[in-house]
Amino acid sequence: MRSIEELTDVVRARGGKVTSQRLLIWRALEGDRTHPTAEALLERVKPLLPSLSPATLYSVLNELVEWGDLRRFDAGDGSIHFDPDTSDHAELICLRCHRVWDVRASAAARDVPEEIAGFRVLNHAEQYYGYCADCRRAAGETAVSA
Ligand SMILES: [Zn+2]
How confident is the model over 22-78, as pLDDT tens digits? Answer: 999 999 999 999 999 999 999 999 999 999 999 999 999 999 999 999 999 988 888
The rounded percent of the chain whose pLDDT value lies above 90 is: 59
- Crossing angle between the packed helical segments 54-66 and 20-29, to the nearest 10 degrees: 70
CA of 96 to the centre of ligand 1 (A): 5
pLDDT of 111: 66
pLDDT of 113: 66
pLDDT of 109: 53
Residue in 108, 53, 66 with CA at minimum distance from that of residue 25: 53
Q: CA separation (Å) from 118 to 78, 110, 121? A: 35, 13, 9
* Helix spans in 1-146 (H): 4-13, 20-29, 38-45, 54-66, 133-138
Burial class (CB within 10 angstroms; exposed 0-12, middle 13-18, buried 19+) of 92: middle
Ligand 1 ion: nearby residues, β-carbon < 5 Å: 94, 96-97, 132, 135
On the question of pLDDT at 82 being above 80, the answer is yes
On the question of pLDDT at 108 being above 60, the answer is no
pTM value is: 0.81
pLDDT of 45: 94
- R_g (Cα) of the chain, nearest Å: 18
Amino acid sitting at position 123: N
Could you tell me how far CA 113 lies from the centroid of its own chain?
25
CA of 97 to the centre of ligand 1 (A): 4
pLDDT of 125: 76
Question: Could you give the count of Cα atoms lying within 13 Å of 19 in the half-sphere of its Cβ?
Answer: 11
To the nearest whole number, what is the mean pLDDT of the chain? Answer: 88
Looking at per-residue pLDDT, the higher value among 117 and 92 belongs to 92
Give, as one character, the DSSP assignment of residue 106: P
